């Protein structure tokens, strides 16, 4: 029923409007007769709402690409550093995996918090792994390629921040809200040819306009985390899958069924943490999400554990 959440909530509002129209009719307020002007007002409202909705959908489609870009860059960083570790013994893969997982957990914390920028700091922390490579025998062109992926991470995360913060033409949205309110008032005080015709017209047009108005509110904030996330929000499952692969140390391929089960379990655990943060039970969402992540162990040449200061190392 997740896909029908907005429809059910809209239907509840429409029932109230239909009841108000029936009440007005019962007390003798049948309203004015329909005119071409009323039809023009309704048609104009549909046109303006379609125009703004089309512009907002462009931002939504752009938002859907952001998690894919983040996951793709993280996978490149993970697999390339694993290969370098096998050949040159650098970098420290336990610390590298910890930093990469921190990018995902801090991004989710930023989405949950709404006004934090901890993921930017997590991306900058990846430079410690790259600096470790610069002091080794790894060819410089390999390191440059990883630096470009780090830059791609910055770009994708900044896109998430921008889309979450900015609204598409706030003045146009305010105008649409006003137009919908005016149209609802007109429908409540217009005789469409009888009681039944008036109720049906109010129900249909009210559902149409209010649904579109609520849909704009959903699209304006495409990212949500925790139990607030619905089917309308951009999915972060690729990032959760990356965490599972990073925790597996690259030792062997994970069967699809096992991967799906681990992703679902980890997603549920992180959703619980994000919900607790929203309710004020958790202070630092990023740190709490890192505590949820399973500690990663490196089976490479160095055999080092994650840094003592990291939340994953404490887990």
188 inside domain: no
d(CA 133, CA 221): 39
| pLDDT digits (tens), the chain, 315 positions | 556 778 888 899 999 999 999 998 888 888 888 878 888 888 888 888 887 777 777 777 878 888 899 999 999 999 999 889 888 888 888 888 889 988 988 888 888 777 788 889 899 999 999 888 888 888 888 889 999 999 999 999 988 888 877 776 677 778 888 888 888 898 888 888 888 888 998 999 999 999 988 888 777 777 776 656 667 777 888 888 888 888 876 656 777 777 777 777 777 777 777 766 666 666 666 666 766 665 444 444 344 433 433 333 333
Within a domain: 172:
no
Tell whether 235 is covered by a domain: yes
Residue 163 lies in a domain: yes
Q: Tell me what pLDDT residue 298 has.
A: 40
The verdict on residue 251 lying in a domain is: yes
Would residue 265 count as lying in a domain? yes
Residue 300 tokens, joined? 């490479």
Q: How many CB atoms lie within 10 A of CB 218?
A: 16
Q: Which domain holds residue 283?
A: 58-167+223-314
Asked whether the beta carbons of 202 and 82 are under 8 A apart, the reply is no
Q: Is 269 part of any domain?
A: yes
Q: How many domains does the chain have?
A: 1
Residue 229: inside a domain: yes
Residues in the chain: 315
């Amino acid at each position: 029923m997740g896909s029908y959440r907005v429809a059910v909530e809209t239907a509840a509002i429409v029932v109230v409007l239909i009841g108000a129209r029936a009440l007005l009719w019962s007390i003798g307020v049948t309203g004015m007769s329909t005119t071409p002007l009323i039809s023009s007002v309704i048609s104009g409202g549909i046109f303006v709402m379609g125009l703004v909705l089309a512009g907002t959908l462009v931002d939504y489609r752009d938002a859907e690409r952001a998690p894919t870009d983040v996951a793709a860059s993280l996978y490149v960083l993970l697999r390339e550093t694993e290969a370098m570790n096998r050949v040159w013994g650098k970098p420290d893969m336990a610390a590298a995996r910890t930093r990469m997982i921190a990018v995902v957990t801090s991004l989710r914390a930023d989405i949950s918090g709404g006004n934090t920028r901890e993921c930017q700091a997590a991306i900058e922390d990846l430079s410690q792994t790259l600096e470790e490579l610069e002091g080794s025998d790894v060819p410089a062109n390999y390191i440059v390629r990883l630096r470009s992926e780090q830059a791609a991470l910055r770009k994708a995360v900044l896109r998430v921040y921008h889309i979450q913060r900015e609204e598409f033409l706030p003045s146009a949205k305010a105008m649409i809200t006003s137009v919908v309110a005016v149209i609802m008032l007109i429908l409540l005080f217009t005789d469409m040819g009888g009681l039944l015709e008036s109720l049906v017209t109010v129900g249909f047009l009210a559902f149409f306009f209010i649904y579109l108005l609520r849909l704009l509110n959903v699209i304006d904030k495409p990212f949500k985390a925790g139990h607030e996330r619905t089917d309308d929000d951009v999915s972060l499952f690729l990032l959760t899958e990356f965490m599972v692969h990073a925790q597996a140390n690259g030792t062997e391929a994970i069967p699809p069924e096992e991967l799906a089960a681990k992703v679902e379990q980890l997603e549920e655990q992180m959703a619980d943490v994000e919900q607790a943060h929203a309710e004020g039970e958790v202070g630092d969402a990023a740190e709490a999400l890192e505590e949820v992540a399973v500690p990663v162990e490196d089976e490479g040449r160095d055999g080092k554990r994650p840094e003592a200061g990291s939340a994953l190392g404490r887990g």
